[in-house]
Amino acid sequence: MSKYEYIDSQKSEPSNRNSVVKMCLWLTVSTSGFYHWAIRPQSATAARREALISRIQHFSEESDGTYGYRRIHADLAAEKTECSPELVRQLMRQIGLVACQPRPFRITTEADAEAAANMPDLVKRDFAAVRPGVKFVGDI
């Protein structure tokens, strides 16, 4: 954020009672420079970045937020929009987009019927103990 942008954001804040002249003086910028910045038209670079941001948001929403900057850059390249992957990464960081790639569900344990059949039943299915510390049963 530039100094002029900061002054502009503070100027429109209702709780701020400082004048533009004071803020310009504190930030060591000229008041005329601030007012010139305020009426200046948007630069071509800023306009291009805004267009890219809207396309990046579109592709991110289309992928339910799972695409990272590489895939979004590939989508932009597929539609003949020229930009670098680093620019896509910077713009995604600027607007707060973070890719979330859910991991697929994988079964980590499988029931082994043969192993269960071959296990000895040492307590003869009687899990009640007369006193503590007599029978130790666990599922490990």
pLDDT in tens, 125-136: 787 888 888 877
Which of 24, 44, 26 has its CA nearest to residue 34? Answer: 24
Residue 110 has pLDDT above 70, yes or no: yes
Average pLDDT, the chain: 88
- Tokens found for residue 117: 């059949």
91 exposed, middle or buried (CB, 10 Å; 0-12, 13-18, 19+)?
buried
**Secondary structure of 27-58 in HEC code, one letter for each residue:** CCCCHHHHHHHHHCCCCHHHHHHHHHHHHHHH
Question: What percent of the chain is modeled with pLDDT above 90?
Answer: 52
Read off the pLDDT of each residue in 36-47 and give the average, rounded to a whole number.
Answer: 91
- Over residues 45-53, mean pLDDT: 94
Residue 140 has pLDDT above 60, yes or no: no
Query: For the residues 96-101, what does the mean pLDDT come to?
Result: 89
Q: Is the pLDDT of residue 84 over 80?
A: yes
Q: Is a pLDDT exceeding 70 seen at residue 47?
A: yes
Q: Using 50, 70 and 90 to split pLDDT, how confident is the model at 139?
A: low
Average pLDDT over residues 94-110: 86
Q: Where are the domains of the chain?
A: 3-39, 44-95
Token couple for 45:
């670079």
What number is the average pLDDT over the span 46-50? 94
Residue 122 CA to residue 135 CA, distance in Å, equals: 10
Q: What is the pTM of this model?
A: 0.58
